A and B are shown apart, each in its own frame.
Chain A
């Protein structure tokens, strides 16, 4: 393992005070991204195309929720509040996740008439997992040791996630008829918001300056390079440019989908104030 920046030590939970703001911002992006996507994944439980997929998808969503929990824990260690509070009690405007990850799985509700869109889910998961892998690779090599260590742990699980979604992506897009039409539409839909996943937001330059992560331009190039072979496999044109159609979540811009998600995921948490569950 390469030598870490001398500003850090293994047990240290305080970053350089001037860089702390950028670090906290980055951790919120990482935590909220995984938390919201794991939540959307958990809504699929019992509704996936077949029972094997239900089990595999659930396992991926658990991993992803576990990743969020590790990031929230890092924030707790930095004195930002308890991990549960950070996950459950922050209002939409304080959330830093990409809008793509908060968007609903489709029309309906997870308990009533869930007319969920498997194509959108596959494409969102596949694109996001690629971006996440690139981001993690960058994080493991950076200066804040507690984060680099968490990133290395997460990386191990990501290999399987990527394989899983890549298989679905290629299989469905290469299937004739309705499947290809739906997948093509889903790719357009995901691409329209994918820039929101790739950006590091208004404090991105500070994150780079403090050696926390690579520049978002570099990360974007690497993500595109990672996704390109799959597009060759399915014989589709590259869906550029990526957009932020529904806003930049990194800067606190969100959709009503997030309000609905937060209301549901914190319903019990908020029901009895100060209770232990």
Chain B
């Protein structure tokens, strides 16, 4: 109590100093703790975007849920997509706590998504026209997500770090689910192998983009400096992309697949993978909701939102009556 009293009397600079000392000492910040506005804003942006990406991320795979080619695959992909919605829900709650002092709720997040004020992850703007795409998303997109999320497992913001722990545990199953689909295709008929190679060709650039631009001057919007300063993450975008190559490029080659970048190789002297940069101008367009499927998928959610308006109204009435 005495400590509380003293703390409230501190100037903002002193509070900030204490805050930085805490996170540098590896302490976790909790929802009700004092935090600088810049930190709160960065977290809200990051976590809200993560939440809506999980929700929008369910949509490309959703296309394949009713079509999955066996009972086992139908059950597997249903469970996977359900998990993604669960991640969205978990993250919305974390974001809501951070937004409470600003008088905002999850409704604001979901409306911002539909009104295009809130962006979602570049990969979920892409088309998934075959069953192989559904497998590839599980294997490589979830594989990439594991890398970026593991990078934040020790985030200074406790509620986010704890949510990520749960999410990462499930992502491992998603990657296995995806890999199992991919293996069946890679060992399958000529048509199945072609289907798989085409899916890889389609997704390669989006996978490179997944980790974000290497430096702020590529797009002028990199958030990585702030998130590193506040110990939300440790590795840079480029380090993560290199980790991804190290883990997956040999596996992709081992399956007999060709990576659609003939410059791709590991430079032993430099100790890093050499690759062709994706088109970062295109990346900017995609995350502005001008990707191949951006509008169609947003429209799907808008239609459902409108269609269910009466249900929300009825639930609201019940709640007020109760």
Given contacts A46-B58, A111-B300, A265-B67, contact A178 B313 (CB under 8 A): yes
Stretch at the interface among A152-160, A232-240, A267-275: A267-275
Name B85's contact: one of A43, A51, A88, A182 (CB within 8 Å). A51
Q: Judge whether B310 and A182 touch: CB under 8 Å.
A: yes
User: B189 at interface (Cβ–Cβ under 8 A)?
Assistant: yes
User: A221 at interface (Cβ–Cβ under 8 A)?
Assistant: no
- Shortest C-beta distance, A32 to chain B (Å), equals 13
Q: Judge whether A272 and B192 touch: CB under 8 Å.
A: yes
Task: Enumerate chain B residues within 8 angstroms of A72, measured Cβ to Cβ.
Answer: 71
Query: Interface residues of B toward A: which range?
Result: 35 or more
Chain B stretch 85-130: residues in CB contact (< 8 A) with chain A = 85-86, 88-89, 92
Q: Judge whether A179 and B71 touch: CB under 8 Å.
A: no
Q: Judge whether A47 and B300 touch: CB under 8 Å.
A: yes
Chain B stretch 286-318: residues in CB contact (< 8 A) with chain A = 300-301, 303-304, 307-308, 310-315, 317-318
- Shortest C-beta distance, A164 to chain B (Å), equals 15
Q: Judge whether B62 and A275 touch: CB under 8 Å.
A: no
> Interface residues of B: mostly helix, strand, loop or mixed?
helix
Docked CA distance A42–B81 (Å) = 10
Q: Judge whether B66 and A268 touch: CB under 8 Å.
A: no
> Interface residues of A: mostly helix, strand, loop or mixed?
helix
A-B contact pairs, 23 of them (CB 8 A): A45-B82, A46-B58, A46-B301, A47-B300, A50-B308, A51-B55, A51-B85, A58-B81, A58-B82, A62-B82, A65-B71, A72-B71, A83-B71, A116-B304, A171-B314, A179-B310, A268-B69, A271-B191, A274-B189, A276-B188, A277-B69, A277-B70, A277-B185
Please give the residue numbers on chain B whose beta carbons come within 8 Å of chain A beta carbons, in ascending order: 55, 58-59, 62-75, 78-79, 81-82, 85-86, 88-89, 92, 131, 181, 184-185, 187-189, 191-192, 300-301, 303-304, 307-308, 310-315, 317-318
Please give the residue numbers on chain A whose beta carbons come within 8 Å of chain B beta carbons, in ascending order: 39, 42-43, 45-52, 54-55, 58-59, 61-62, 65-66, 68-69, 72, 83-84, 87-88, 106, 108, 110-116, 118, 171-172, 174-179, 182, 264-265, 267-269, 271-272, 274-277
